[in-house]
Homo-oligomer: A and B are copies of this chain.
Amino acid sequence: MELTFLGTSAGLPTKERNTQSIAFNCLPHENQIWLFDVGEATQHRILHTGIKLGKVSHIFITHLHGDHIFGLPGLLTSRSFQGGKDKPLTIIGPKGIAKFIHTALEISQSNLNYQITVNEFNTETELNVDSFHIQALPLKHGILSVGYRITAPDIEGKLDVEKLKALGIEPGPKYQEVKANETFEYNNQTYQSKDFKGPKKKGKVITIFGDTMPCQNELILAKDADVIVHETTYIEGDKNLANSYFHSHIDDVFQLMRDENVKKGLFTHLSNRYELEDIKEIEQSLIKNTDQEFYFVKDYDHFQI
């Protein structure tokens, strides 16, 4: 799986950083790409990546502030001309997102050549997308803003080749049968496949947070996550000031990671007042004082998970 950051600024774009959008490549589990938020000019950023709009099957919106949604109309209409024809798209987001999309398409007389389904929620939602499970809970941002906890499917244990050989089964098509089914037959006997596999690996957990100040639901969403993507609008200065604007301070997010045993933090949505050079400098000084794994992400950064 891979996360690609298409915009990492907060509120306004800067010369260096765009407003919010993240692409999540579901491979090897599903041949799909999902977007989380679509700030203005997300489609422009995508032109400079290997992402094909036709591969984008789902768009998740964390909240309705403009820096997270104003790129939707353009991305949806361009998708018609960039491989999206006849490929359905599902959009999941807080109530209101459907009206925004449909008004933009109607006023501009845009006819999409693929089907869109918009699934709105009022406070929280839970859904499966093929082999993935997604849980969204409300955060604290003055407007409904959610975090999406994505659980990837468990990974089957490796075949115990020695044990299969001992039974007399040499590598070949039979191995695929053992892999894919709960039981298999050999020499008129039925075997449990799990007896010939190593232990299952639990599916990885990635949580992508919308804008928020610290709140209880953050703990649930972050618990034991392999990766969290979290806003750090304020990466220095007064924590109370950050929270008074319903945003997080870097210290809030470090605390969350410690409390919930989070392995890696990808920090985005840094205030537009920071230039890349400032961010690098602050990152260097923070690295010295923490043993937590974190990155201030830049536009186009991508991370294997």
Contact = CB atoms under 8 A, between A and B. Distances in A.
Interface in A42-65: 43-44, 47-48, 64-65
Given A44-B41, A44-B44, A77 B66 contact: yes
Nearest to A272: B81
A108 interface: yes
Chain A interface size, as a band, is 35 or more
A209 interface: no
Nearest to A69: B108
B44 A108 contact: no
Given A40-B41, A43-B40, A12 B97 contact: no
Interface stretch (A99-107, A235-243, A280-288): A99-107
B70 A73 contact: yes
Interface in A218-263: none
Contact of A48 (B11, B15, B77): B15
B108 A12 contact: no
Nearest to A15: B47
B64 A107 contact: yes
Contacts of A41: 40-41, 44
A66 B70 CA distance: 12
Contacts of A99: 103, 107
A143 interface: yes
